[in-house]
A and B are shown apart, each in its own frame.
Chain A
Amino acid sequence: MKITLPFTLEARESVKIGDVLELTGDIYTARDAAHGRIQEAVEKGEPLPIDLKGKTIFYCGPCPAGPGRVIGPLGPTTSARMDPYMEMMFQQGMAACIGKGDRAPYVAELCRKYKGVYLLGVGGAAALCANSVKEVEELAYPDLGTESIKRYYVEGFKVVVGIDTQGRSIQEVNIPKYRRC
């Protein structure tokens, strides 16, 4: 299914766990350190480095770009480390996030409450994944190196819906189907 970003409420409500999506548009990288700084800014009432309203956040720290490339290999990092920041990010307007791996049970509930979706990138397919990124702009926290906030313009960026707006998670539904112990 092709999705043009920003990820509208209507589009978010139309996808369900297990759907394979191809995203086109802007996504924004933020992982551990950037989330920590955003949280701090929110607590102190300081302006945020980017407006999070309607944004799709990508938990990602890329490799540096080699000659002739806009960006190096990149892919999702383990999302569970961002669980504690999830409600704050939704409150700031985040629409969706991309990462890998299962999350704490309360994240599914937050996705239902804020009508947000959690998308699974293909962890470890970093060389191919970089090909979907057509444009890169560093927006904030350049001192964090690979962890800075960057805007990627992506075309046909492949993800799987991990948690949908009804709060269903792919792991909870799919793993029991194949479990034999």
Chain B
Amino acid sequence: MFAMRIINTQEVIPVIRKLCIQACQHLSANVTNALKDARTQEESPLCQEILELLIENAEYADKNNLACCQDTGMTLIFMEIGQEVCWEGQPLSEAVDEGVRQGYRDGYLRKSVVADPIRRTNTGDNTPAVLYTEIVPGDQVTITVLPKGAGSENMCHVSMLTPADGTAGIKKAVLEAVDRAGGKPCPPLVIGIGLGGTMDKAAVLSKKALRRDIGERNKVPHLAELEKELLEEINKTGIGALGMGGTVTALDVHIEGYPTHIACLPLAITFQCHAYRHAQAVL
């Protein structure tokens, strides 16, 4: 017999509030450094100027506690909940939404969520969040807040490839999606790729891939290799910063893989703009 760790769901409210504000206002050094590297690598003078502005903007937003981009997104929240945790208090999803509500109010972040996809009335507080929970070993709760902007989200793509398509098919589908998206998703991009599982599993993996730092490779060697090859090929498309024509279209490609069916090769691509925002805390 082991002791359960009891957590009142109220405890997540201030944590999520803070993570929403932190993610939207303060780009990490990992991202600003990647933008600085991009500026160095970029060959187009116009894109160099754009990248310079983006770096300056990130620094200004950070210093003045302002959202770095006005699209502060729909709020994606990943919670990895240790199986020794027992919740008490109000329903967890309500506490999560309260944290989002407070964060978007107190951080002066944009409220971009409509209550119904067809009737489209703004909920006024950016709730509900899109919440993914996962039960993991242990007694801790890891919370990741990922505000997801729509310019890039609208370019996302799912392909149900077949085993015969293989690596070549994956590359072709990714490059076609990048070309189709052009400047719309605000490059330089971070591309999240979910490979395997089922259609829905691949889609969620493509989002989870966006929790990783730029430059951090998949631990599976052949997936790490594919990430590097894709990054190189994406940067040959010529799209450049904001689609103005240049040599840096993506900052990184992150692949997350999962076992799949003998007949399947699901591929999901999430486009993430250069405001690569996410913040994490452990309860």
Give A78 to B152 CA distance when docked, in angstroms.
Answer: 9
User: B42 → chain A, closest Cβ, in Å?
Assistant: 9
B133 at the interface (CB under 8 A from A): no
- Number of A-B residue pairs having CB atoms within 8 Å of each other in the complex: 169
Whether B186 contacts A179 by the Cβ 8 Å rule is no
Interface of chain A: mostly helix, strand, loop or mixed: mixed
Question: Contact mask B225-238 → A, CB, 8 Å, 1/0?
Answer: 00000000100111
Whether B182 contacts A125 by the Cβ 8 Å rule is no
B186: which of A62, A64, A124, A173 is its contact (CB, 8 Å)?
A124
Task: Select from chain B the residue with minimum beta-carbon distance to A171.
Answer: B243
Task: Select from chain A the residue with minimum beta-carbon distance to B275.
Answer: A124
Interface of chain B: mostly helix, strand, loop or mixed: loop
Give A75 to B274 CA distance when docked, in angstroms.
Answer: 14
A-B contact pairs, 24 of them (CB 8 A): A61-B112, A63-B67, A63-B109, A75-B70, A81-B154, A100-B184, A101-B243, A102-B182, A124-B68, A124-B242, A126-B57, A127-B60, A127-B64, A127-B66, A129-B57, A145-B124, A170-B245, A171-B245, A173-B245, A175-B239, A176-B238, A176-B245, A177-B245, A178-B43
- Give the B-binding residues of A (Cβ under 8 A): 18, 20, 33, 60-66, 72-75, 77-78, 80-81, 100-102, 120, 122-130, 144-147, 158, 160, 170-171, 173-181
- Give the A-binding residues of B (Cβ under 8 A): 43-44, 46, 49-50, 53-54, 56-57, 60-61, 64-72, 108-112, 120, 122, 124, 150-151, 154, 175, 182-186, 233, 236-240, 242-247, 273-275
